[in-house]
Amino acid sequence: MTLSIYFLMFIIESATQKLCPLRSSIDVLEGEYFFLCYLQSMQEHLQEEAYTINWYKENAGKQQLIKETDRIFSQMNFLEFWPAELSDSGSYSVTHSNGIQNVTIQKWTLNVLERNTSSCFNENHLTTEIKNAGTGHSLKCSALSVNENDSITWYKDCKSYENETERELDFKTLTVQHSGIYTCKILISHEGKTYHSTNTIKLVVEEDAPEAVTLEIVGRDEEIETEIGKDKILNCTGFLGYYMREDASLYWIINQTFPEKCTGIPENEPSICEEELKKIQLENKFYVTRLLRIKKVTDNDIHQNFTCMLQADERTQIKIVKLKKGNTQDLPVHIFTTGMVLAVLFPCVAVAAVFVCVMFRVDLVLFYRNICRKDDTAEDGKEYDAFVSYLKDCISPSEEEREFALNILPSILEENFGYKLCIFERDVSPGGAVVDDIHSFIDKSRRLIIILSQNYISDRSIYELESGLHKVLVEKKTKIILIEYMPISDYNFLPESLSLLTPKRVVKWKKDKSLPVNSRFWKNLRYLMPAKPNKINTKGHYHNLEPSEGAQSWTEGHDFNAVI
């Protein structure tokens, strides 16, 4: 009795081994009978009563137990589909349970391909065989059914082929005319219904076929040095020959189990995962390759085998890769020294860069405006770039100030830098209401330039100042530029509202030192003026004097808020 059981188990195991190719990814056509199965040892068969077999399908990232229906059910180590549907695509696994421990035996990815309604086959579900004319050859039908009574029909290019009904289609002598797409169709009876499965082979017969090659994995078994805690990528490449074998399968196995698929999302990646299979053609040679990614190598990874398997044409090639600890090397002295020097220099360079930017802020802004042709005046509805307000009535003490306001200032800003100024005595026709004219022309100007002096507030220009302050502080339409033309010892004559203006909008005139066009005074003034893309002539000057040191801020030596 025991001998009979062993003999029966041997027959079942032999058939199972033939029908269960060890592939992690399987393609099947919708509407056809199909099954998943795994190799089961004889000992497991004898202990079958002590184990429970469970099949699972992954759904939304979770493993769900497959419940039998009238279409899907399990039998021994088979999970059968009567028939397969598109919704069956997904990840499957099978486990053994003894009531205490669950052991995952094998995993698959099942791809159910859509059937081509206009043809008897799907172009993505066929194998290619290239043979030499004048030789003999046999095309083998799918072995999805072991029942010898199942009906088999062969088709060539979707037409019935010579009433052939055998599992193998034999050609004693191949000719070029035998080239074509052959499909065998197996009819399978099950519970009073008839189902079918198909196998499609593209046969190419050439007068001079490529030389015969041996399917092989590139490279031999190897040991690769690595470090604990470091990421590692293992590569396996298989050579297929001179045409792409559609049935070729290349995958990794770790301790007789398939690794998980890589997700492409770093934070969700398993510790060990394999990439998708890639097909490569180099000149007239074809290869397949697959990467295995190991995130942070552990001691356990050092002591196990990573096996790469290549399957095609019922042949299997394997390559075993092992990891070994490499010698941890200290950081080279020159790299360490360079790093320390850079660590010390970087803060110094950063501080120096900030210092340069602060010290030469005005020059950098003017350079940027010139390079980029920046224009702040385009389509803003303003007629003038600045309205100039200065001391007008006190003639005796202010001749130099009038000369500065009426000649020097417009000569430099208008003739050298292309600005358009509004000077009341020069540009406003007499006869109008002074206050109304002042308001109107300040409204038309982008800036209000106030030339400050001790007697400025006592002059009628107080209306211009008050109007300008109203535009700045209330309407926020115009910006004020203060020019300290003469040294001022007492600031109490200025309105308190001026304390609300930023001190950075004040420039100080230093007479002969400020006259050259490229002096700091004119640069500071242009910095406060609106940007205009005019051709700048920095060689011009009002008087031929040598350029000298930059102008000081109006607040130099004074607390702005304290003196106003």
Q: pLDDT tier at 61 (50, 70, 90 boundaries)?
A: confident
Report whether pLDDT(481) > 90.
no
Q: What DSSP designation does 516 have?
A: B
Question: For residue 118, is it within any domain?
Answer: no
Helices 434-443 and 462-470: angle between axes, nearest 10 degrees: 40
Alpha carbon distance 303, 252 (integer Å)? 16
Give the residue from 83, 113, 143 where a domain finishes.
Answer: 113
Please check whether residue 431 is in contact with residue 371, taking contact to mean a CB–CB distance below 8 angstroms.
no
Question: For residue 121, is it within any domain?
Answer: no
**Residue found under tokens 């406060």:** 528
Of 203, 196, 446, 230, residue with least CA distance to 324 = 230
CA neighbours within 13 Å on the CB side: how many for 3?
0
Same domain, 431 and 505: yes
Same domain, 386 and 499: yes
Does residue 550 or residue 166 have the better pLDDT? 166
Same domain, 355 and 483: no
Question: For residue 377, is it within any domain?
Answer: yes
Question: For residue 236, is it within any domain?
Answer: yes
- Could you tell me what percent of the chain has a pLDDT over 90? 17
Same domain, 501 and 529: yes
Q: What is the mean pLDDT of residues 350-369?
A: 84
- Res 15: pLDDT: 43
- Res 432: pLDDT: 57
Of the candidate ranges 3-17, 269-283, 294-308, 530-544, the one whose mean pLDDT is the lowest: 3-17
Report whether pLDDT(429) > 60.
yes
Q: pLDDT tier at 248 (50, 70, 90 boundaries)?
A: confident
Q: What is the mean pLDDT of residues 70-75?
A: 88
Of 34-43, 179-188, 500-509, give the range with the top mean pLDDT. 179-188
* Interval 274-327: pLDDT, tens: 988 888 888 778 888 999 999 889 988 887 889 999 987 777 888 999 998 876
Report whether pLDDT(125) > 50.
yes
pTM comes to: 0.44
Does residue 22 or residue 250 have the better pLDDT? 250
Alpha carbon distance 411, 324 (integer Å)? 82
Report whether pLDDT(88) > 60.
yes
Does residue 555 or residue 12 have the better pLDDT? 12
Does residue 274 or residue 453 have the better pLDDT? 274
Same domain, 519 and 391: yes
Report whether pLDDT(329) > 50.
yes
Please check whether residue 418 is in contact with residue 540, taking contact to mean a CB–CB distance below 8 angstroms.
no
Same domain, 105 and 248: no
> Which of helix, strand or coil describes residue 329?
coil
Of 198-207, 394-403, 528-537, 553-562, give the range with the top mean pLDDT. 198-207
Quick check: is 475 catalytic? no
For the chain, the average pLDDT equals 78
Report whether pLDDT(104) > 70.
yes
Question: For residue 36, is it within any domain?
Answer: yes
- Res 112: pLDDT: 94
Q: pLDDT tier at 85 (50, 70, 90 boundaries)?
A: very high
Alpha carbon distance 175, 352 (integer Å)? 83
Same domain, 283 and 313: yes
Of 464, 466, 484, 546, catalytic: 464
Same domain, 192 and 267: no
Of the candidate ranges 24-38, 135-149, 360-374, 550-564, the one whose mean pLDDT is the lowest: 550-564
Q: In 371-408, which positions are buried (b, 16+ CB within 10 angstroms) versus exposed (e)?
A: eeeeeebeeeebebbbbbbbbbebeeebeebbebbeeb
- Res 292: pLDDT: 92
Report whether pLDDT(496) > 80.
no
Same domain, 489 and 520: yes
Q: pLDDT tier at 114 (50, 70, 90 boundaries)?
A: very high
Residue type, 364: L
The CATH number that applies at residue 93 is: 2.60.40.10
**Residue 147: domain span:** 127-206
The CATH number that applies at residue 391 is: 3.40.50.10140
Please check whether residue 388 is in contact with residue 401, taking contact to mean a CB–CB distance below 8 angstroms.
no
| The two three-digit tokens of residue 434, written as one number | 């002074």
- Res 306: pLDDT: 93
Same domain, 520 and 452: yes
- Res 555: pLDDT: 35
- Res 339: pLDDT: 81
Please check whether residue 164 is in contact with residue 240, taking contact to mean a CB–CB distance below 8 angstroms.
no
Report whether pLDDT(186) > 50.
yes
Q: What is the mean pLDDT of residues 52-79?
A: 88
| The two three-digit tokens of residue 428, written as one number | 């406003």
Q: pLDDT tier at 497 (50, 70, 90 boundaries)?
A: low
* Domain count within the chain: 5
Alpha carbon distance 16, 128 (integer Å)? 25
- Res 460: pLDDT: 53
- Res 156: pLDDT: 93
Same domain, 86 and 145: no
Helices 333-359 and 361-372: angle between axes, nearest 10 degrees: 90
